[in-house]
A and B are shown apart, each in its own frame.
Chain A
Amino acid sequence: MARKTVVKRQAVLAVLLLVSMAMLTWYFREPVGGVLHSTQRGGLRVISPLESGVSTVVSPFRDSYNWVTGVFSAQGENESLRIEADRLRTEVLSLREADAENKRLRDLLGFINQPSFPRDYKNVPSRVIGRSGSSWNATITINRGSDSGVALGQTVVSGQGLVGQISAVTTNSSQVLLIIDHTSHVEAKLQNGAASGTVVGSINGMLEMDFVDKDQKVLKNDAVVTSGTGKLFVKGIPIGVVDEAADQEVEYFKRISITPFVDFGRLEEVLVLIPPAGTDEAPLMAEGAGS
């Protein structure tokens, strides 16, 4: 092969690699509103309708696949669910009693006008149209954007509990950083008030509650909810239950494994919680999202 040809080839490779490196460096250095970030959002605005279309077309096949895998796992889960149902039946009875008692106490204490769940928030139902194709990021793309009032930092929930937070917005779609992503941090507490800490995600999709005081008593199956500290997430949204509480001597804090309520692999519809106008908006955890 002619030497000139080899040089041309290597020049093309070098130019492309240099452009990639330059983009990488520039992307890191510029603010979220910078040129590259804006261009990226513009590109996403073009691609998301395509994703939405393909997602609709493949959804019957996906549902069939989920159904088949669900049948296999359901056989194994059947027995444990039966035991769980018995336990829950007992728990429902005691909860009803506790609920009645709670109402009486709330009336007495005057808390009835200060509900923990933000009832004045607007819910925007959204459909999941895309998911992160990379093993390194846990994100989903939803079919609602700034046209529907969605903005960076807003909390996203499903019927089971906390899903994540809006990390990028275009006019017609948004990206949600799931709480199982390794860059996600959620201020949380045990529902019984016994302990508080930060729920962090990881590459392997597991949730852990870190920075929990070692003196705090944590029991398996204790429910974990958002604490609302720092106003990053809406307060009181269920996250999961305690799976295991490790107490290692070398660590300053207790680390708790959490089983999330939400099945992130099968998310189809979610709700974006939009705060009422004039509310102090949640700060953006999305500054480095996806980076």
Chain B
Amino acid sequence: MTAPAIRKRSRARRKRALVRFKRPGTSVLQQNAAPTAPAAPDSPWFMLRVFAILLLAVVVQTTVAPFLTVLGAKPDVALVIVVCLAMMRGPVLGAIVGFSTGLLIDVALVQTLGISSFLFTLAGYFSGRYAEGVDLDSWFPPLITVFISSLVVQLLNTVIMFLLGVQASAGFILLRVVLPSAFINALLAAPVFIVCRWWLGGDRKDALFTK
């Protein structure tokens, strides 16, 4: 084969590889999904992966998150992970993951058992329900779902705290805890979503009770 023919052939090969990589019509999130080696939804291996990410969420929440403060508010990494998993795997797994994560958080922070598991169960279930009707290839649904979930969870938590007798200014809680926390969580939504998607091998909403 002549030299120009070889060059022409290798150019064509490079072009085909680039087209495969870009996958026209797909978003950045989808390109990063890397749906390699998908695990069966209900397999022990899959559940082990879910458990590992939950444990990591709790440890990160107690060791790293307290230092990433914005206007005094801390990010709720565990909640972001619960919402992302729920969006990828549906409401039932979302609720179960939310319950488990909340329980681990309550244990790790020596808080009243049940508060976080209650709130995270709700967040997981309704995030999963919302995600059934949206296109997860865009960056917007994870961001807005995490933002709204954070707002609702923080507001419900505020109500519970007030019922338990905590005294604080409502304005302070709203401006220095609820809103900054929701914003910083929303900023974390896209990277956490990409990492979770990669770790669990892509979306599969047919895991539990969705048909």
Enumerate chain A interface residues (CB-CB to B < 8 A): 1-2, 5, 8-9, 12-13, 16-17, 19-28, 36, 40, 43-44, 47, 50-51, 54-55, 58, 62, 65-66, 129-137, 139, 141, 167-168, 175, 182, 202-205, 289-291
In contact, A51 and B63 (Cβ under 8 angstroms):
yes
Asked if B148 is at the interface (CB within 8 A of a chain A CB), the reply is no
In contact, B99 and A20 (Cβ under 8 angstroms):
yes
In contact, A51 and B211 (Cβ under 8 angstroms):
no
Residue among B96, B111, B115 with the highest chain A CB neighbour number at 10 A: B111
Interface residues of B in 150-197 (CB under 8 A from A): 157, 161, 164, 166-168, 172-173, 176-177, 181
Chain B residues, CB < 8 A from A175: 110
Q: How far is the CB of A44 from chain B (nearest CB, A)?
A: 6
In contact, A16 and B59 (Cβ under 8 angstroms):
no
In contact, B113 and A23 (Cβ under 8 angstroms):
yes
Chain A residues, CB < 8 A from B125: 13
In contact, B108 and A51 (Cβ under 8 angstroms):
yes
Q: How far is the CB of A32 from chain B (nearest CB, A)?
A: 11
Interface residues of B in 77-99 (CB under 8 A from A): 77-78, 91-92, 95-96, 98-99
In contact, A168 and B66 (Cβ under 8 angstroms):
no
Given A27-B114, A47-B104, is A135 in contact with B177 using a C-beta cutoff of 8 Å?
yes
Asked if B28 is at the interface (CB within 8 A of a chain A CB), the reply is no
Asked if B30 is at the interface (CB within 8 A of a chain A CB), the reply is no
Enumerate chain B interface residues (CB-CB to A < 8 A): 55, 58-67, 72-74, 76-78, 91-92, 95-96, 98-99, 102, 104-115, 117-118, 121-122, 125, 157, 161, 164, 166-168, 172-173, 176-177, 181, 209-211
Q: How far is the CB of B61 from chain A (nearest CB, A)?
A: 4
Chain A residues, CB < 8 A from B209: 5, 8-9, 12
CA of A130 to CA of B62 in the docked complex: distance in angstroms? 5
In contact, A54 and B157 (Cβ under 8 angstroms):
no
Given A5-B209, A51-B108, is A36 in contact with B113 using a C-beta cutoff of 8 Å?
yes
Residue of A nearest to B66 (CB): A131
Given A47-B58, A139-B110, A202-B168, is A62 in contact with B67 using a C-beta cutoff of 8 Å?
yes
Chain A residues, CB < 8 A from B111: 134, 137, 290-291
In contact, B168 and A40 (Cβ under 8 angstroms):
no
CA of A168 to CA of B164 in the docked complex: distance in angstroms? 20
Q: Which 9 A-B pairs have the closest CB atoms?
A: A24-B114, A23-B114, A43-B107, A20-B118, A131-B66, A133-B61, A203-B168, A130-B62, A20-B117
Given A20-B114, A205-B72, is A137 in contact with B92 using a C-beta cutoff of 8 Å?
no
In contact, B64 and A167 (Cβ under 8 angstroms):
no
Besides A54-B60, A182-B167, 6 other A-B contacts (C-beta < 8 A): A129-B63, A130-B62, A130-B108, A131-B63, A133-B66, A134-B111
Chain A residues, CB < 8 A from B122: 17
CA of A131 to CA of B65 in the docked complex: distance in angstroms? 9
Given A17-B122, A23-B117, is A12 in contact with B95 using a C-beta cutoff of 8 Å?
yes
